[in-house]
Amino acid sequence: MEAINVTTVFAAKCLAILKDAAEPIVAADMAAKLFMSGSRESQRRHVRAIVDHLRKEGSMIVASIAEGYWLTEDLDIWKDYQEKRAVDGKKILAEVSRRKKAAGCGEKGQGLLFMPAAPNRYGVD
């Protein structure tokens, strides 16, 4: 997947839209307001990259799958959001680790189901 180029123009426009918004904005609506082209998925990825850029620049942008993005000035809301993201990240890493173990990245587990068959001791299949 290619890297997304976040321009200062898109970032500034996105921030202005979030500041003026009366309610959260989903990525598809943000992409439409920014006149982005491409597939829905590429637009969503581009909006997410812009939001990540703005967060790194210090904007307190909160997100919800159901509601979309919104800008908050409440430090408590921002801290709660950041804390939840960190916990969700840890849960994802733990699940990946659990699944790797279940798949058997070694001599045990389901990983053996997908490995080429070793010759049997009689040399006959």
Tens-digit pLDDT profile for residues 17-69: 999 999 999 999 999 999 998 999 999 999 999 999 999 999 999 998 889 99
- Whether 8 has a pLDDT exceeding 70, the answer reads yes
Cα–Cα dist 2/100, whole Å:
27
Residue 26 lies in a domain: yes
pLDDT band at 120 (very low <50, low <70, confident <90, very high): low
Domain count of the chain?
Answer: 2
Long-range residue pairs from 82-88, CB within 8 A, at least 24 positions apart, any chain: none
Domain limits at 62? 1-72
Is 81 found in the same domain as 46?
no
**pLDDT at site 114:** 57
State which amino acid sits at residue 94.
A
Q: What is the CATH number of the domain that holds 40?
A: 1.10.10.10
Residue 124 lies in a domain: no
Is 68 found in the same domain as 21?
yes
Is 44 found in the same domain as 29?
yes
